[in-house]
Amino acid sequence: MKINVKAPAKINLSLDALYKRKDNYHELEMVMTTIDLADRLQLVLLEKDCIKLDVKAHFIPDDKRNLVYQAAALLKERFQIKQGVAISLDKSIPVAAGLAGGSSDAAAALKGLNQLWDLNLSLEELADLGAELGSDIPFCLYGGTALATGRGEIIEPLPMMPNCWIVLAKPSISVSTPGVYRDLKVSEVTHPNTKGMVQAIQEGSFEGICDNIGNVLETVTLVKHPEVKRIKEKMLEFGADTALMSGSGPTVFALVKQYSRAKRVYNGLRGFCEEVYLVRPWQEQR
Ligand code: ATP
């Protein structure tokens, strides 16, 4: 038996950190949406009790350090699975980019293995398991557009994002997510209007989304890495309706209603950045 699963990337339309909790995580409010830039996984059932992982990309571990491996190992241990799986992972999502590539791969592995090993787990059960491996995995399991709270693991699905063009640009620097949260001063930043963003999504208002877009982590990453700020400014200069850093960065995305302008932003950014993508919101139904 063989199963193919797609693992789409996400962007944060808003990301707010309200306060630091006693367990050292920040209490978050994020509106996230999946985009049409996806890794691909193929899962093949093995009768032998083992997990084989083949990663078609450089510099990504193909052992226990990979979230896909961890997802398979967690299901195996929790449900005493005696069968095995050979997984091949074809990466298209840039790594360590703020696009939740690893989390989405893990979510796709959980979904695929639920089918392959006949586990009959509900989406909620898979999300609870996913949360043990990473805070963004529950969102990646639901996909679409959603409000994520807690440390990101509590998901309230929202209507689909109105159609538009999304230009992504990832500078070739790496950003440490724990480091960004460590340097964030929640009492000193301007917080995005999460309620306004949720309402805009509910009304299907592209303008409302542009008005309420915001990410508190920009206060850390944009100061430390001025090139990220420059990319954002370039996107706006080239005609983006809005631009924002995703997650802890360093990827910046622009939302653009008109294709001709999106193409201009895309072409303009290619002069500054090696990794630039022109995509749309993820359209698959839940
Ligand atoms: P987030 O937005 O959730 O912070 P990210 O996009 O910044 O995620 P990832 O691409 O998920 O970051 O990868 C971060 C690190 O996780 C990488 O440096 C890599 O070594 C490790 N990793 C583990 N599993 C995977 C995977 N399946 N794909 C990519 N990276 C993985």
- What's the rounded Cα separation, in Å, for the pair 278 and 65? 30
Compute the average pLDDT of residues 146-167.
Answer: 96
**Which stretch of DSSP H or E encloses residue 41?**
strand 26-46
Compute the average pLDDT of residues 55-71.
Answer: 94
Q: What pLDDT is attached to residue 58?
A: 84
- The reply to whether ligand 1 has any atom less than 6 angstroms from the CB of 97 is yes
2-157 architecture in CATH? 2-Layer Sandwich (3.30)
Q: Of the residues 95, 151, 252, 275, which should be mutated to test ligand 1's pocket, given the most ligand atoms within 8 Å of the CB?
A: 95
Q: Which pLDDT tens digit goes with each residue over 221-265?
A: 999 999 999 999 999 999 999 999 999 999 999 999 999 999 999
The answer on whether 208 is annotated among ligand-binding residues is no
Say which residue the tokens 């944060």 belong to.
12
- What's the rounded Cα separation, in Å, for the pair 209 and 196? 8
The answer on whether 73 is annotated among ligand-binding residues is no
- What's the rounded Cα separation, in Å, for the pair 141 and 10? 11
Most distant CA atoms of the chain, gap in Å: 57
Q: Which residues of 40-69 are buried (b: 16+ CB within 10 A; e: fewer)?
A: bbebeeeeeeebebebeeeebebeeebbbb
Q: What pLDDT is attached to residue 286?
A: 45
Is 10 part of the annotated catalytic residue set? yes
CATH of range 165-279; options 3.30.1360.120, 3.90.580.10, 3.30.300.10, 3.30.70.890? 3.30.70.890
Q: What pLDDT is attached to residue 274?
A: 87
Domain spans, the chain = 2-157, 165-279
Residue 137 — pLDDT band, cuts 50, 70, 90?
very high
Compute the average pLDDT of residues 23-49.
Answer: 97
53 - beta bridge partners? 87
Mean confidence (pLDDT) of the chain: 96
- pTM (2 d.p.): 0.96
Residue type at position 170: K
Instruction: Return the ligand 1 atom nearest residue 246 CA.
Output: 2
Whether 285 shows a pLDDT value over 90: the answer reads no
